[in-house]
Amino acid sequence: MPENKKRALITGASAGLGRVVALALAERDWELIIVARGADRLEAVRSATRATAVAGDVADPAVRARIASAVGDKGLDLVLNNASALGPSPLPMLEHYPLDELATVFETNVIAPLAILQLTLPALRAADGVAVDVSSDAAIGGYEGWGGYGASKAALDQLTNVLAAENPALRIYSFDPGDMRTDMHQAAFPGEDISDRPEPETVVPTLLQLLESRPPSGRYIASEVAVAS
């Protein structure tokens, strides 16, 4: 394997944005470590990308230990914290939000990404890598029903913000891809037609632009990032 081959860790890699980013980086000859709960779909991505696959829930410390083992002592050029939990579907109003479900959402969307960055920061520093935490417009908008998910993404934004301030030598981004036609977005709108939402593939060029241009750490919205033609 070439010494200069780039490496990435991608969570939530079996579907949606995580899957298409994994496929795009594999086409560019990156070495990948991919993580997701859906073992069958993850295996399909592993087969297509020749990645190292870790099947399991990022909220599980035992799974994170397996991720750390897969990362090993080599550098990482990218950590993409993409795995997310929507919470109950249909989306409940906060007045009736089950608190145990809210705790699960925060475990997946806030605690797990931070835990993964805690264990991968040495590898990122070794490669002068980039960390990307996938956010949402629900982190800053007051949308009915989105209180649990939105609050978790707002918390993730702030963790990302502070982690960037504490690690000025690294590039650490909060990335809002916008609405996409994904299984999770469909679960947020059960029974509705979401075919008007763009496919996740449309966001990949923007994310690649961030990785290549390395602007200052911060929060970036996909629709506002200029992509080089």
pLDDT above 70 (res 1): no
Confidence of residue 3 (pLDDT cuts 50, 70, 90): low
Residue 142 maps to a domain: yes
Give the number of other CB atoms < 10 A from CB of residue 37: 20
Residue 101 maps to a domain: yes
Q: What is the mean pLDDT of residues 23-32?
A: 98
Please write the tens of the pLDDT for every residue from 38-67: 899 999 999 999 999 999 999 999 999 999
Alpha-carbon distance 105 to 171, whole Å? 26
Residue 197 maps to a domain: yes
Confidence of residue 183 (pLDDT cuts 50, 70, 90): confident
Range with the lowest mean pLDDT among 22-26, 53-57, 135-139, 195-199?
A: 195-199
- When comparing pLDDT for 182 and 119, which is higher? 119
Q: What is the pLDDT of residue 198?
A: 77
* Catalytic-labelled residue, pool 97, 143, 149, 220: 149
Alpha-carbon distance 210 to 174, whole Å? 11
Please write the tens of the pLDDT for every residue from 124-168: 999 999 999 999 999 999 999 999 999 999 999 999 999 999 999
Residue 1 maps to a domain: no
Cα-to-chain-centroid distance, residue 215: 19
Q: What is the pLDDT of residue 188?
A: 67
Joined tokens for residue 56? 């399991």
Q: What is the pLDDT of residue 229?
A: 56
Residue 2 maps to a domain: no
Q: Which residues contact 92 (CB under 8 A, 6 or more apart)?
A: 98, 145, 148
Q: What is the pLDDT of residue 196?
A: 82
Per the annotation, the verdict on 149 as an active-site residue is: yes
Asked if residues 144 and 93 have their Cβ atoms less than 8 Å apart, the reply is: yes
Residue 165 maps to a domain: yes
Residue 159 maps to a domain: yes
Please write the tens of the pLDDT for every residue from 69-125: 999 999 999 999 999 999 999 999 999 999 999 999 999 999 999 999 999 999 999
- Report the domain count for the chain: 1
Residue 229 maps to a domain: no
Asked if residues 220 and 140 have their Cβ atoms less than 8 Å apart, the reply is: no
> What sign results for the dihedral spanned by CA atoms 195, 229, 9, 48?
positive
pLDDT above 60 (res 178): yes
The residue segments making up the domain with residue 79 are 7-224
Which domain CATH number covers 173?
3.40.50.720
Residue 174 DSSP SS3: strand
Strands (E), the chain: 7-11, 31-36, 52-55, 78-81, 130-134, 171-176, 218-221
Q: What is the pLDDT of residue 190?
A: 80
